Amino acid sequence: MPSIPSYDLSDKDFLLFSRLVYEKCGIHLHEGKKELVRSRLSKRLRELELPGFGPYLRLLAGPDAEDELVRMLDAISTNLTSFFREKRHFDFLESEALAGIRERMSKEGRQDLQVWSAGCSSGEEPYSLAICLSEALGVSSRVQIKILATDLSSRMLEAAQSAIYPHARVAGLSQDLVRRYFLKGKGRMQGRVRLRPEIRNLVTFRRFNLMEPFHSSLHFDVIFCRNVMIYFDKPTQEMLVGKFHKALRPGGYLFIGHSESLMGIEHGFRYVQPTIYLKN
């Protein structure tokens, strides 16, 4: 049985990877991430039958590297999420934020409620938003819910678009929510659930790198960008928060992760409560 090759990642090559990843997607790979990079990319090197990280870096720097860059970033990205994670955000959106947003929508004469899940991973967050807003607005509402869900990882987006999850993923939800918004798998899909079409249709998935320019036509009422900025350094966080501020309508809300804050960076938001900010 042939032995599985192992690869050493030199300090020099790790520095080159760190610079490349920072340049491409703003993720700051500090020294403590060296082993993570080595272990996660070693599998890719074996698949490509490359002898080491040096040749892989040259591949990534080549003229036809776009697809491989996506694969590389997929490999080093951490994707951890769940339905209604940090539930108080959804409670606040439903009980406090939504009334003011709907009032402004009425004054502006529009019926579309625009939400962005930035860093949507495998889809639990945008689908939770779709369920939350559907619950809050009711079936008779004329409001059109439009949720844009983006992520850097094409692998995660493919999983998200399928909207299929192991039944264990919904074990923490009420049976009523599961019954109304999920379909139980049968036969070869036994033990899995899938979001109902009326929820799936509220979400549009796109691959998007947050370091790229935001389209000037993007205007949202709510942005969820949670547990994403922890990977960025302060200058990158400040730049990104500024872009979110421009992309939100006045009176719009930015939700960030429980381990994140906007302290130490300049921004135009008004603090509402921990991890929740308002654009005046």
Q: Domain map of the chain by residue range?
A: 11-76, 87-165+198-278
87-165+198-278 shares the fold of 11-76 = no
Half-sphere exposure of 20 (CA within 13 A, CB side): 22
Catalytic annotation on 67? no
Homologous superfamily (CATH) of 87-165+198-278 is Vaccinia Virus protein VP39 (3.40.50.150)
Decide if 192 is catalytic: no
Name the one residue in this structure whose structure tokens are 């439009």: 146
**pTM for this entry:** 0.88
Q: What angle do CA 173, 179, 185 make, to 5 degrees?
A: 100
Q: What is the mean pLDDT of residues 127-142?
A: 94
Q: Which of 40, 44, 102, 104 is catalytic?
A: 40
Predicted confidence (pLDDT) at residue 43 exceeds the cutoff of 70: yes
Mean per-residue pLDDT, 91-109 = 97
Is the pLDDT score of 2 beyond 60?
A: no
Q: Which pLDDT belongs to residue 175?
A: 94
Burial of 2: CB neighbours in 10 Å, binned 0-12, 13-18, 19+ = exposed
**Above 90 in pLDDT, residue 24?**
no
Give the pLDDT of residue 97: 98
- What's the confidence (pLDDT) of residue 3? 57
Question: Which DSSP symbol is given to 190?
Answer: T
Q: Which of 74, 151, 192, 226 is catalytic?
A: 151
Which pLDDT score, from 0 to 100, does residue 20 have?
Answer: 87
Does position 107 have pLDDT exceeding 60, yes or no? yes
Average model confidence (pLDDT) across the chain: 92
Which class for 114: exposed (0-12), middle (13-18), buried (19 or more C-beta within 10 A)? buried
Query: Which residues have a Cβ under 8 Å from the Cβ of 108 and sit 6 or more positions away?
Result: none
What is the model's pLDDT at position 79?
66
In degrees, rounded to 5, the angle at the alpha carbon of residue 211 between the alpha carbons of residues 117 and 153 is 55
- What Å distances lie between residue 228 and 156, 169, 232, 271, CA to CA? 15, 21, 8, 19
Task: Please say if the pLDDT value at position 140 is more than 70.
Answer: yes
Residue 9 has pLDDT above 60, yes or no: yes
**pLDDT in the model for residue 244:** 98
Judge whether residue 1 has pLDDT over 70: no
pLDDT for 135 equals 96
> In 3-state terms, what secondary structure has residue 123?
coil
What lies within 8 Å, CB to CB, of 144 at 6+ separation is 111, 112, 113
Return the pLDDT at 4: 65
pLDDT digit string, tens, across residues 207-256: 999 999 999 888 999 999 999 998 899 999 999 999 999 999 999 999 99
Give the span between the Cα atoms of 221 and 233, in whole angstroms.
26
Query: By the 8 A CB rule, do 115 and 149 touch?
Result: no
The mean pLDDT of 26-41, rounded to a whole number, is 88
pLDDT of residue 105 exceeding 70: yes
Question: What fold does the segment set 11-76 form as a domain?
Answer: Chemotaxis Receptor Methyltransferase Cher; domain 1 (1.10.155)
pLDDT tens-place string over residues 207-218:
999 999 999 888
Q: Give the per-residue pLDDT at 194.
A: 98
Q: Residue 219: which of 144, 113, 137 has the closest Cα?
A: 113
> What distance in Å separates the CA atoms of residue 242 and residue 88, rounded to the nearest whole number?
25
Segment 201-209 shows an average pLDDT of 96
Contacts of range 236-240, beta carbons closer than 8 Å, 24 or more positions apart: 236/26, 236/28, 236/211, 237/262, 237/265, 238/265, 238/266, 238/267, 240/26, 240/210
pLDDT digits (tens, 9 = 90+) for 55-97: 999 998 887 787 888 888 878 776 678 999 999 999 999 999 9
Q: Mutual orientation of helices 34-48 and 53-60 as an angle, nearest 10°?
A: 80
Q: How far apart are CA 33 and CA 175, in angstroms?
A: 40
